[in-house]
A = this chain, B = another copy of it.
Amino acid sequence: MLPSTTRSLVTTLYDDARMVVELADLPLPAPGPDEVVVQVEAAPINPSDLGLMFGPALTAQASYEEGRVSAPVPPAAMKALANRIGQQLGIGNEGAGLVVAAGSGAQALVGRRVAAFAGAMYSQYRVIPAAGCMVLPEGVSAREGAAAFVNPLTALGFIETMRADGMSAMVHTAAASNLGQMLVKLCRADGIPLVNIVRSPDQVALLRSIGARHVLDSTSPAFPDELAQALSETGARVVFDAIGGGPLLGTILTTMEKVANADGAYSRYGSTQAKRGYVYGALDMAPITLPRTLGFVWDVSGWLLAPMMERLGPEARARMHGRVATELTTTFACHYKGELSLADALSREAVEDYTRRATGSKFLILPSAPL
């Protein structure tokens, strides 16, 4: 017998500029004919989850009580959030667990372990459409399948996007992330030259240890020359950028332009080679700045998984999902700093750790673990 409510983590922005993240018991409806009830066993905390969970709230000034964290939102940030004031929102884009009940049309899934990208996965139970479930291969645990969507599809999406642009090599920033490590493995397997840009010597060592060939530390004085060299060697003219703000993206694109011009005749309009930047993250919320030494043949775009998957079409999507399923425990294996129950996730220690958004501080929430 299923319970009538489910314990969940929810986030609410109040009009007095408090962001409250708390435990709530939400009604658990019966599944419709094509729906399943998943007992969620594991769900990762991705940067995109933090964007909803705490948004721009100042977690360093948060106050903590049993099952509840409250953090102030700076007045300047309230305007952009007007549409969410007063709404209690579930958190957790993706996760995995056991199908414990199903509607009449989805009985075959009962007892199977599935992954889903359904939102509000930081819940003991979630009712979701059967069509949105990825059945995990035999022997793959919920922990291993928890992050089967966001990072794997983003990494594969970069490759599909690069190919759709007619390019054959790429640059990636903040490349020591879990996503970045996947991309190193994928590009190696597919023979795609990849220029990894990281922010410390430790991260250089980490990526080299998993077989990355071009790894540049943007804090090194040699970075500008090394970047030009790597762009010249690989021919990479597309960059996937997790950072967005600050000078790095502009530096990469203008270096592409410089390399493209190096052997050409003078043109007042710059190189005719296409140069593309995709901003897929917001590790730095400062404005993106693009120097005018870019020439005129360049494109910079926001990159977001869901619309990109739409644009790539059903065939590419099926290919991507299939590859994720077969390589979940190898290429797409994810490393966590720790595991948290729903209640643990509201402790000061945990919040301060996972909101740092630093490489190597990724956590897994276990929503069905005892509170």
A residues whose Cβ falls under 8 Å from a Cβ of B: 48, 51-52, 55, 80-81, 83-84, 87, 89, 244-245, 250, 261, 264-269, 272, 279-280, 282, 285-304, 307
Closest to A282 in B: B292
Q: When the two chains form the complex, which single residue of B55, B244, B264, B301 contacts A268, counting CB atoms closer than 8 Å?
A: B55
Known: A52-B268, A265-B83, A266-B87. A296 touches B292 (CB 8 A): no
Give the CA-CA distance A296 to B302 in the complex, in Å: 4
A292 near B285 (CB under 8 angstroms)?
yes
Q: When the two chains form the complex, which single residue of B264, B267, B287, B299 contacts A301, counting CB atoms closer than 8 Å?
A: B299
Whole-angstrom distance between the Cβ of A52 and the nearest chain B Cβ:
5
Known: A51-B268, A298-B301. A83 touches B287 (CB 8 A): no
Closest to A286 in B: B292
Copies of the chain in the assembly: 2
Closest to A247 in B: B287
Q: Which B residues touch A80, using CB under 8 A?
A: 293
B297 near A288 (CB under 8 angstroms)?
no
11 additional contacts (CB under 8 A) given A48-B268, A287-B292: A80-B293, A81-B266, A83-B261, A83-B266, A83-B267, A84-B266, A272-B307, A289-B290, A295-B302, A296-B303, A297-B302
Q: Which B residues touch A261, using CB under 8 A?
A: 83
Whole-angstrom distance between the Cβ of A38 and the nearest chain B Cβ:
23
Q: When the two chains form the complex, which single residue of B288, B293, B301, B304 contacts A289, counting CB atoms closer than 8 Å?
A: B288
